[in-house]
Amino acid sequence: MTALRLAGTFLRIGILNELQYRVNLVFSLVQSAIAVGTSLAVLALVFGNTDSLRGWSAGELLVVMGVHVLVGGLIRSVIQPNMQQLMEDIQRGTLDFVLTKPADGQLLVSVRRVQIWQAVDILVGAALVVVAVVRLPATPGVLDVLAFAAALALGAVSIYCFWLLLTTLAFWVTRLDPLVELFEGMYQAGRWPVSVYPGWLRIGFTVLVPLAFAVTVPASALTGRSTGWLLLGSVAFTVALATVTRLAWRHALRRYSGASA
């Protein structure tokens, strides 16, 4: 409850401030339009040559792309800004100020920043999903939509955990920006359902970079592919990853304060 209130206060302040820089909205819109346009061009190219890609139709892949854009917007507006700030704090020693605050450290470092204009992609992605779903031959039922929402929330948590794990490395490694770059490269792969990839890559994209749980599983729910088991797997994976992340964070802090040395 306090966590929510804290996050709410931070979010409100961040948004109020970003509202001053309204020009950025235009730039985010241009960026978003270009990204979506490119994706559509790629889809058109692929489906100019074939009717189905490993069992996914053009309309179904549009759903996947919509979810990909949506989650990408979530990453760029909330997750990445916070993690970049954390990285800077670790490098400059200003993390000390976080640790002398009477609130949970992990919570604090995760809610401090928000880049609201990047959230345009969340809306654009959602719109894309809606348009794609409406045009599908089989309209998903209420249960499917609920499964989609649940899978999306779980996927978002997984991606957040993955980013925090990555950022925690900053306690050991001085130059992290290449890793961030690496992740961004990998994230582009999520534009396609993970089942397109050969086995070893599919495992990597599922477990190492949780693209499967963040993008493919939610999209599966809307395209009549999800089973209860898939959702259950997503729950188990998210819980496991969140636990590992929590432990890694505490371990890193203990190391930072010289307790484990």
Partner 1 sequence: MNGLPGLYATVMKAAVQTQFQYRTANYAYMLGMVAEPVVYLVVWSAVAESRGGSVGGITAGEFAAYYIVWTLVRNMNIVLTPYAWEDRIQQGELSGMLLRPVHPIHYDLAFFAGWKVVVVLLWIPIALVLSVAFRPTFDISALEAVVFLVAIWGAYLIRSLLLWALGMITFWTTRVSAIYDVYFTAELLLSGRLVPLALLPAWAGGLADWLPFKYTFGYPIEVLAGSLSTRELLTGLALQAVWIGFGAALVAAVWRVGIRRYGAVGS
Partner 2 sequence: MDIEVDGLRKTFRVPRREAGLRASLRSLVRRTTTEVVAVDAVSFSVEPGEVVGFLGPNGAGKTTTLKMLSGLLFPGSGTVRVLGHVPSRREHDFLRRITLVMGNRNQLQWDLPALDSYEMNRAIYRIPAPDFRRVRDELVELLDLGDQVRKPVRQLSLGERMKAEIVGALLHSPQVLFLDEPTIGLDVTMQKRIRAFLAEYNSRHGATVLLTSHYMADVQALCKRVVVIDAGRILYDGSLRTLSARYSQRQTITATVADRAGLAGLGELVSVDGDRVTLRVDKERSAAVVAALLGHGVTDLTIEDPPVEDVIEQVFAS
Which CB, 8 or 185, lies closer to partner 1?
A: 185
Q: Pick what 38 binds: partner 2, partner 1, none; C-beta below 5 to 8 Å, kind-dependent.
A: partner 1
Among 48, 93, 178, 199, binds partner 2 (CB under 8 A): 93
The CA angle 146-134-187, to the nearest 5 degrees, is: 65
Nearest alpha-carbon partner for 216 in 42, 109, 60, 112: 60
Q: How far is the CB of 13 from partner 1 (least distance, A)?
A: 25
Binding mask 36-75 for partner 2 (x = CB under 8 A): ----------------------------------------
End-to-end CA distance of the chain: 35
Binding mask 226-255 for partner 2 (x = CB under 8 A): ----------------------------x-
Which CB, 88 or 184, lies closer to partner 2?
A: 88
Residue 15 sits in the site that holds partner 2 (CB under 8 A) = no
Residue 96 sits in the site that holds partner 2 (CB under 8 A) = yes
How far from the centroid of its chain's Cα atoms is residue 245's Cα?
Answer: 15
Interface with partner 2 in residues 145-184 (CB under 8 A): none
Give the integer Cα–Cα distance in Å for 22 and 15. Answer: 11
Among 17, 38, 52, 243, binds partner 2 (CB under 8 A): 17
Among 1, 23, 50, 92, binds partner 2 (CB under 8 A): 92
Q: How far is the CB of 4 from partner 2 (least distance, A)?
A: 11
> Which residues sit at the interface with partner 2, rule CB under 8 A?
2, 5-6, 9-10, 13, 16-17, 92-94, 96-97, 99-103, 108, 112, 254, 257-259, 261
